[in-house]
Amino acid sequence: MKSLLYSAAMGMAVAVPAVPTLASANPLSLEQALELAVQRSQAVVAARAGALASAQTARAAGQLPDPVLSLGIENLPVTGPDRMRTTAESMTMKRVGISQAWVSAEKRVLLQASAMATAERELASALAAAAESRLQAALAFVDAFYASEALVLTKLNERYALEDFEAAKARFASAGATGQDVLQLTAARGVAGDDSAEVEQLHASALVTLQRWVGVRPDSLARPALPAALDEQAFVAAHPAVWQSQRDIDLARAEAASTASNRKPNWTWQAAYGQRTGYSD
């Protein structure tokens, strides 16, 4: 489990998928937009770095603390004619030692479990950040696509209104239509033009929002292929926020068990070698 977790965090942190190329003849697809959004998100980059750091920490959490090397001089004179001389006083001793804190195997298992739970939570946070970027990019893509479709319809309606207006003018010139008909079609043409202008502004705004997530302004968008609806329980179980909350619960339990084990004291052993001038070591 530990190696799998580390491999997953390492893969999320260092894997850089190829950036989709946007040829002018090829419209931007929904999947390309989602991939670009994940690659550009600084929140995803930070979360992946945190997951990698936690996975590396978890690898060493179950080990004993590093041994400590100590060097020192005991009973060194600091006043009088022999001050700061290491060979003048028989009680002065140069000392070198090593010490090791001993943590029980039970404690180390609990510490490693807590570190693993932290790494899993960080991995869940990275997945949640990526899912949030994909969600926002998908919403922006759908808004931009349907705004472009609405713009096509309003432009078509504007053209039809113009054609009706021109035909009414021709009929009016030949006494086949009244002035009231021409006035009504003139008003309809103005309304169609206003609708086109409004939708064009919405389309431009939607493209700017999409560009904020994907980093490019596409010439055209492919029709999004939306996934089929999932079963409610399967959707909830696979939701990144739910998985992240479950990891938070697991981490709290692991930390509580590790904290409870601190009631049992740790032990430290130490070995040292002392040298005295003129006397036995």
How is 119-155 classified by DSSP, letter by letter?
HHHHHHHHHHHHHHHHHHHHHHHHHHHHHHHHHHHHH
Nearest in space to 9 (alpha carbons), one of 55, 40, 59 = 55
Beta bridge partners of 273: 96
Q: What gap in Å lies between CA 14 and CA 31, rounded to an integer? A: 21
Q: Residue 177's pLDDT is what?
A: 60
| Cα–Cα distance, 281 to 274 (Å, whole number) | 6
Q: Are 103 and 64 in contact (CB under 8 A)?
A: yes
Quote the pLDDT of residue 18.
Answer: 44
Q: Check residue 6 and give its pLDDT.
A: 46
Tokens 């999409």 label which residue? 210
Pairing verdict, β 267-276 and 68-74 = unpaired
* pLDDT score, position 172: 61
- Is the overall model pTM greater than 0.85, yes or no? no
Tell me which residue has tokens 């339990």. Answer: 253
Per-residue pLDDT of the chain (281 residues; tens, 9 = 90+): 555 454 555 455 444 444 444 444 578 888 999 999 999 888 888 888 888 888 888 888 888 889 999 999 998 898 888 888 888 888 889 999 999 999 998 999 998 999 999 999 888 888 889 999 999 999 999 999 999 999 888 888 878 777 766 676 666 666 666 667 667 767 777 777 878 888 889 999 999 999 999 988 888 888 887 777 777 888 887 788 888 888 899 999 999 998 999 899 999 999 999 998 888 88
CA 159 – CA 165 distance, rounded (Å): 10
pLDDT at 8: 53
| Cβ–Cβ < 8 Å for 94, 86 | yes
Given a contact cutoff of 8 angstroms between Cβ atoms, the answer to whether 264 and 107 are in contact is yes
pLDDT at 13: 46
Neighbours of 11 (CB within 10 A): 12
Per-residue confidence (pLDDT) for residue 93, from 0 to 100:
92
